[in-house]
Amino acid sequence: SKLVRDINTPYHHISVIAESVLGTRELKFDRFTESAIELSEPHRSMSQYTTYFHLAFLPQPKIRRALFIGAGGGVGPRAFHQHDPTMEIDVVDIDQAVLDVASDDFYLPESENIRMIAADGRTFVRNSPDGHYDAIFLDAFTIGGRIPFHLVTREFFQLCRQKLAPGGVFVMNINSAVRGKNAEIFESMYTTLGEAFPQVHAFAIG
């Protein structure tokens, strides 16, 4: 293992670790792995959950504008850009250092169609035009693998719905069991999402 980057910010302890034997690179916030990719092109994601972002194309095959709240390693935005380089993609993260790491260490390309914005996700969404996005992805986590509280309220979800164009889709990554005693977070989020959106579907990673 080789420590490529080690940064303390007001929000995270960020470390980027290269595994030369496996040919992978890993992004960690504190001790939690956020993203992992193959170092060889096309730098495929090793984080299974990121492939689930593509479920957005099922209800909305024509995504022209997308918003990612929480940059991580930029794996989702990079995959969507590769799928359609003309897609307009906004990547918002409260931590500028995370945006820098996505570009410098995880191959998120420079493009006139990718905007990198250091801002609080809720503030950014509030100031965005209504009906602007075909897809919004919420993948923001703070210390301990928790989603920031102000991004999981009914009011925020309703705000996101206002910013979606007709037929738009909201996709959210939840770090929780879906059944049993450890499913409290999922059950709460499912209920809250149902208060803001007419249809809610859950996809578990086995």
**Site of tokens 């990673």:** 205
pLDDT given at position 198: 95
What are the counts of helices (DSSP H) followed by strands (DSSP E) for the chain?
5, 9
Q: What is the separation of C-alpha 142 from the centre of its chain, rounded to a whole number of angstroms?
A: 12
pLDDT given at position 205: 83
Chain length of the chain: 206
pLDDT given at position 142: 67
Given the residues 90, 105, 134, 139, select the one marked as catalytic. 139
pLDDT in tens, the chain (206 residues): 899 999 999 988 999 999 988 899 999 988 788 889 999 988 989 888 888 999 999 999 999 999 999 998 999 999 999 999 999 999 999 999 999 999 999 999 999 999 999 999 999 999 999 999 999 999 987 665 667 789 989 999 999 999 999 999 999 998 778 888 888 888 999 999 999 999 999 998 86
Q: What strand order describes the sheet that includes 133-138?
A: 114-118, 88-93, 65-69, 133-138, 164-172
Cis peptide before 42 (omega within 30 of 0): yes
- 139 is annotated as an active-site residue: yes
Cα dist from 166 to 34, 170, 171, whole Å: 31, 12, 15
Provide, for the chain, the percentages of residues in helix, strand and coil under a 3-state DSSP scheme, each rounded to the nearest 5.
30, 30, 40
pLDDT given at position 50: 85
Closest CA to 168 of 87, 56, 76: 56
CB of 47 closer than 8 Å to CB of 117: no
CB of 122 closer than 8 Å to CB of 159: yes
Tell me the chain's radius of gyration from C-alpha atoms.
16
**Site of tokens 């191959």:** 107
pLDDT given at position 34: 86
